[in-house]
Amino acid sequence: MKGLRVRSPSFWRAVFAEFFATMIYVFFGLGASLRWGVGPLNVLQVALAFGLAAATLVQVLGHVSGAHVNPAVTFAFLVGAQLSLLRAVFYMVAQVLGGVAGAAVLYGLTPAAIRGNLALNTVTWRGMGGLLIFLTLQFVLCFFATYDERHNGRVGSVALAIGFSLALGHLFGIYYTGAGMNPARSFAPAVITRNFSNHWVYWVGPILGATLAGLLYDFVLCPRMRGLAERLAILKGEQVAEGQSREGSKTDPRFRTPDP
């Protein structure tokens, strides 16, 4: 059964969408973070670049894969039993590879005098991981709330809500940690520049923050009435989670994660 799912065209379209979306996200986000002049880094420019990139990708690819574009987001959806373990693993691998591809393309197109460390996220104090938890928590809470199919009276644009939430995290967190809420974004320039100093912080912090956000939303703020057996079935890919849609469904699948 799992083999059949892996061979499904819709499954591979979703995986490729995550690869492609993360490549585009990292390319434009890192590109906007490079310093072309002698002045200080324009925080608003960087925040808007990442936020607008996320909003655009959710609008374009949300109906294909959910447009997670972030291993921490995918991990939170996995913890919340909103997608299968198989799909989550493929998504996270695709996101990491897509991020590296985007950084590699940017590195090749940018003059050596400008690219520097390719906007590498670095921390001098490991306690900054705690800040990353809070930054990612607010972002993933927004993700869960706007993607929640139970919100029949959803107001406003899902894509813009995601983009603004991400921009908010950058406006506050750039000077502290580089606003490394996305492990794929942090990993990509680290690979290209071969600099992994304290890099683990950019995985542990966002994943913990995303997990806390998912648990807080699904079990406290807006509980999902699911038993353990149902959650395990979803994780195994034996059952489609709420908010997931099969290819060909008449319901609008725009911001929903496809079935395993």
Angstrom distance (rounded) from CA 65 to CA 54: 14
Give residue 94's pLDDT: 98
How far, rounded to the nearest angstrom, does the alpha carbon of residue 28 sit from its chain's CA centroid? 15
Spatial CB neighbours of 108, under 8 Å, sequence gap ≥ 6: none
Angstrom distance (rounded) from CA 28 to CA 257: 24
Quote the tokens at residue 258: 């496809």
CATH topology of domain 2-235: Glycerol uptake facilitator protein (1.20.1080)
Give residue 1's pLDDT: 44
Angstrom distance (rounded) from CA 35 to CA 18: 28
Burial of 25-35, coded b for 16+ CB within 10 Å and e otherwise, reads bbbbbbbbbbe
Given a contact cutoff of 8 angstroms between Cβ atoms, the answer to whether 221 and 215 are in contact is: no
Residue-wise pLDDT tens for the chain (260 aa)?
A: 444 466 688 999 999 999 999 999 999 999 999 988 767 778 999 999 999 999 999 999 999 999 999 999 999 999 998 899 999 999 999 999 999 999 999 999 999 889 889 988 887 666 677 888 999 999 999 999 999 888 766 667 899 999 999 999 999 988 888 888 999 999 999 999 999 988 999 999 999 999 999 999 999 998 888 888 888 888 888 776 665 543 333 333 334 444 55
- Count CB neighbours of 42 within 10 A: 14
- Count CB neighbours of 232 within 10 A: 13
Angstrom distance (rounded) from CA 210 to CA 166: 13
Give residue 166's pLDDT: 96
How far, rounded to the nearest angstrom, does the alpha carbon of residue 63 sit from its chain's CA centroid? 15
pTM score: 0.88
Given a contact cutoff of 8 angstroms between Cβ atoms, the answer to whether 78 and 235 are in contact is: yes
Burial of 144 (0-12, 13-18, 19+ CB in 10 A): buried
Angstrom distance (rounded) from CA 91 to CA 42: 32
